[in-house]
Amino acid sequence: MVSDDRRGHPMGAPATSSRPPQPSLVDRLGGPAALGAAVEQAGLRASADPDLGPTALELVLSTAPGDRLDFLVEAIEHRGGRSRLGLDAGDADRLAGHLADALSVLGVSPALSGEVRTRVVAALADSPDGPGGDVALRGAC
């Protein structure tokens, strides 16, 4: 086997990528602090939404903003271990829409806000096991 004396690797071995890793979606949004500001604004918007169903409204009103932020970070980063919350599709879309609107007001691009909205709807929507999802997640909106 012939080796490249400068690197000590066999010639023809695949070169390692020198590209830096892509930033996470949370980082692209400005980090947890920026997302936290959007979560707070989304909670205010949702609590004033007359069309939001009672289950979704209860989740918003009974959950600390930090808990909502933790859930959303997991949802938008596709971290495992949590099942969906079991809201109906309309309420899931309304809550995700409030978050996307708050992100837009904070200067996040429409494309990035839309990506967040899609991921959040998936995390909030009905569980495959039926409405309600994982009971341990109640209140983690």
Higher pLDDT, 109 or 77: 109
> Rounded distance, CA 85 to CA 139, Å?
9
> Rounded distance, CA 32 to CA 37, Å?
9
Q: Model-level pTM?
A: 0.69
Angle, alpha carbons 50-52-58 (nearest 5°): 110
Give the residue-averaged pLDDT of 64-89.
72
Specify the pLDDT at position 71: 80
Q: Is residue 133 within 8 Å of residue 61, measured between CB atoms? A: no
CATH superfamily membership of 27-137: Globins (1.10.490.10)
In the structure encoding, which two tokens stand for residue 22, read together? 């892509």
> Rounded distance, CA 57 to CA 3, Å?
65
Indicate the pLDDT class of residue 141, thresholds 50, 70 and 90: very low
Helix/strand/coil (H/E/C) assignment for every residue in 98-125: HHHHHHHHCCCCHHHHHHHHHHHHHHHE
Burial class (CB in 10 A: 0-12, 13-18, 19+), 71: buried
Provide CB contacts within 8 A for 57, sequence distance 6+. Answer: 46, 47, 49
Q: Would you say residue 6 has pLDDT above 90?
A: no
Higher pLDDT, 85 or 128: 85
